[in-house]
Amino acid sequence: MTVVASPAELRHMVARGRADRHVVAFPYRQVRELVGAALDHCRRGHSYVGRSTTRAVCDWWPCRCGGHLVLRCRMCPDVRVDPVVSADRNPCRTYS
């Protein structure tokens, strides 16, 4: 995974990715537009799909890697972060 240190570098990287016809998708865009497999249930199996009373509370967590989608289950205290933040995947900090 490529790590950029500033917004300017990120823009440069995105522009480079757009210019290359072989690059059909890159993580930055996937995260922003949520292309691909979206999380549709919490770890306890509660569905995020459906009425507003069961739909997960969505938050956006800005991060140096581009950002994370934060989904809070309404039925239990479970919180999922997409992409997953793990200790071995810097520069993401621990979610608090």
Interacting residue ranges for Zn ion, rule: CB under 5 A: 42, 44, 46, 63, 65, 73, 75-76, 78, 92
Using the minimum distance from each CB to Zn ion, give the nearer residue, 6 or 22.
6
Q: Positive or negative, the Cα torsion across 29, 35, 40, 43?
A: negative
Q: State in angstroms the smallest separation of the CB of 74 from Zn ion.
A: 8
Using the minimum distance from each CB to Zn ion, give the nearer residue, 78 or 82.
78
For residue 67, give both structure tokens: 């950002």
Q: State in angstroms the smallest separation of the CB of 47 from Zn ion.
A: 9
Using the minimum distance from each CB to Zn ion, give the nearer residue, 19 or 77.
77
Q: Exposed/middle/buried for 72, CB within 10 Å: 0-12, 13-18, 19+?
A: middle
- Backbone torsions φ then ψ of 79, nearest 5 degrees: -130, 125
